[in-house]
Amino acid sequence: MTRQAYVDGRFLPIAKARVAVEDRGYQFADGVYEVIKAVAGEPCDLDRHLARLERSLAALRIPVPMSMPALALVVREALARNPIRKAIVYLQVTRGVAPRNHLFPRDARPSLVITVRRAPFPSDRERAEGVAVLSLPDRRWGRCDIKSISLLANLLAKQEAAEAGCREAWLVDEAGRVTEGSASNAYIVDSEGRLVTHPLGPRILGGVTRSVILELAREAGIEVVERPFTLTEAKEAREAFLTSTTSLVLPVTRIDDRVVANGMPGGTTRRLARLYAERSGIPEAATGLRERRSIASCRG
């Protein structure tokens, strides 16, 4: 099967798809993106992703490339042309092509690119045993709520975590509070069994998976507290986990050199992972959540 990409109104084989050298996404990272999970050709939470895309575009004063209903049709067509059982759709909008100038061009049209590939979901072992995260200073810009394609600080943190043998980096602000991961949202379950996560605002990206998890938690009778928590709190928590479109609900069983609780995915994490997997149509993603000691580790 030859993968196809959508570029400004045309579907092309992935090897022939091109963007202009003066596209402002390339020149300035002047654009936004979304990553949408799809199962059996059906995009998950498409309405929420497109609503966030529209908010990000508005924040950067980039015109929408087409109406949201039309964009939804293009996403579905991209999935039909790339039939993958469990896929992710990458959607990027930039301000468009114009001679390089810091000022917004007056007549540029936004550029839209969509690609589809196999979803890199966590392994059975990661879901069953949990993963390690490395704490690092949060060096990102002040508007993390905009899903900008400018991700240099994120990728540097992710790389440092990987080189330390960790799945993810948890970013810590100047007050010692965990904001989120380099590519995920961060959570703990405190000693009272409450689910705690950083509130929405400029310091974090409002994850689509995050919004779903908080809804599922409240429906399941789990108390949700949206407040910043410190790195010390995280290391002393009853449970910890992270979420994202591709990470699903992933237990965190080690933070730096500290094992979280007894080193096994906790009951609240396992419960939410099952609920989310069932809601998303991928119940097999919950089958690895058996109770066994984690061997997740990293150097940090």
Active site residues: 147
Would you tell me how many other CB atoms lie within 10 Å of the CB of residue 257? Answer: 12
- The DSSP symbol for 14 reads G
188 Rama sector, left if φ>0, alpha if ψ -120 to 50, beta otherwise: beta
Structure tokens at 39: 């199962």
Radius of gyration over alpha carbons of the chain, in Å? 20
Q: How far apart are CA 275 and CA 213, in angstroms?
A: 9
Cα 222 to chain center, whole Å? 23
86 Rama sector, left if φ>0, alpha if ψ -120 to 50, beta otherwise: beta
Where do runs of H (alpha helix) occur along the chain? Answer: 24-28, 46-60, 68-81, 124-129, 152-163, 208-219, 231-235, 267-280
Q: Can you name the residues that pair with 169 across neighbouring β-strands? A: 134
Q: Give the residue among 90, 107, 88, 111 at the shortest CA–CA distance from 28.
A: 111
